Amino acid sequence: MENINYYIIVTTPDDFKYDIQMSLAIIGLPDRNANRLSNLKKGDKVIYYLIGLKCFAAISEVDGDYFYDDKNQLWGDAFELFPARRKMKKILLCTNINKALYINPLVEKLTFIQKKHKWGVYFQGSFRSIPKEDFLFLENLLSKNLKS
């Protein structure tokens, strides 16, 4: 598949527990990101970053159409339904936090983090695109961690 785009979704450890229960079948974002999510296409890939724990813990691929659901609460956040949604397919899933991919040793190697001393600002917000090279680098390392 050509023209694949690569993204990071920033989530909390609590919401990630719901992602695990759903086997990464759906990704949800706040209303403010509805347009970005609706513009994804099948085959685009997403890596999950757990804020607070400062690690990457899963990868999924867009596998279905965009839909909006402001009726069904899928995640535990009492203040946000994350109604902008997309069907996904699990690629890698880390359920053991000891095998997650921690960001600190990787900051210097990731090109999307331009100001290395302020790396945390690159994980503010819910969703961002990243270069293919960075995504493949993270995917390879996470895959190795899960196999070890």
Predicted local confidence at residue 56, as pLDDT: 97
Q: What 3-state class would DSSP assign to 84?
A: strand
Domains recognised in the chain with CATH numbers: 6-147 (3.10.590.10)
Cα dihedral value 135, 129, 56, 2, nearest 10: -40
Distance of CA 126 to the CA centre of its chain: 9
| Contact of 6 with 44, CB cutoff 8 Å | yes
Using one digit for the tens of pLDDT, what is the confidence trace for 9-48? 999 998 899 899 989 999 988 888 888 888 999 999 999 9
pLDDT of 1 strictly over 60 = no
In terms of pLDDT, which residue wins out, 69 or 42?
42
* pLDDT reported for residue 53: 95
Q: What is the pLDDT of residue 74?
A: 79
Give pLDDT tens digits for 73-94.
Answer: 777 666 677 888 999 999 999 9
Is 5 or 127 the better-scoring residue by pLDDT?
5
User: What H or E segment, with its residue span, contains residue 18?
Assistant: helix 13-21
Give percent above pLDDT 90 in the chain: 66
